[in-house]
Chain A
Amino acid sequence: GDSVTQMEGPVTLSEEAFLTINCTYTATGYPSLFWYVQYPGEGLQLLLKATKADDKGSNKGFEATYRKETTSFHLEKGSVQVSDSAVYFCALSEGGGADGLTFGKGTHLIIQP
């Protein structure tokens, strides 16, 4: 079946550092890929998405590129802020987001001032 693997952390960085959170996936078809963010005590919010190979999703300074050859969708940000502290989930959908999402375990990111 489908699966998503991501580093679990916690990942601790200083403010303005460069961020990479790795995500790799296994899927039978050609899935859509997503990054969701969960702030403490809240539900998940869609951060960005990509629906086909070589697509780049971007939002709020975060980027991720859909790499079919390496089955990866790594999340990057050039300069993190304290407000980026949260749990980040990589997810896939075989149905373009209109079916149940398969999530990774989540990466807890802590940004220190």
Chain B
Amino acid sequence: DSGVTQTPKHLITATGQRVTLRCSPRSGDLSVYWYQQSLDQGLQFLIQYYNGEERAKGNILERFSAQQFPDLHSELNLSSLELGDSALYFCASSGSVGEQFFGPGTRLTVL
């Protein structure tokens, strides 16, 4: 158990809809990262937050957004969903050492 929790575990929705994925980092970790894992693109970094502020952006679509709240949990919002957004979404957190600990992921299926 990495100490990073993600909810929900599975999510099934339709094209055009909007969903929110939630992540709670390990106790004391200030950084949260979001990754997307799909069969065709592999594992891709989406975005990083540090203590409530956006720190770095990767290959995140404009339809996607994230935020980190004062209690350090983070949410990834995916809107106008397309079939191609079906993937596993992982959250990771890190402290001062920089080692990233990954959550179990949320499997999103867009029908």
- Chain A residues in contact with chain B, CB under 8 A? 32, 36, 41-46, 49, 89, 93, 95-106
Cβ-neighbour of A101 out of B31, B100, B103, B104 (below 8 A): B100
| Contacting pair A102 B98 (CB below 8 A) | no
Q: B14 interface residue, CB < 8 Å from A?
A: no
- Do B43 and A96 touch across chains, with their CB atoms under 8 A apart? no
Given contacts A43-B2, A43-B90, A45-B2, contact A100 B102 (CB under 8 A): no
Among A36, A96, A102, point to the contact of B45 (Cβ < 8 A): A102
**Interface contact A99-B56, CB-CB below 8 Å:** yes
Contact call A97/B42, Cβ cutoff below 8 A:
no
Q: Which residues of B contact A104 (CB under 8 A)?
A: 42
On whether the beta carbons of B45 and A100 are closer than 8 Å, the reply is yes
Set of chain A residues within 8 Å of B94, measured between Cβ atoms: 97-98
B58 neighbours in A (Cβ, 8 Å): 100
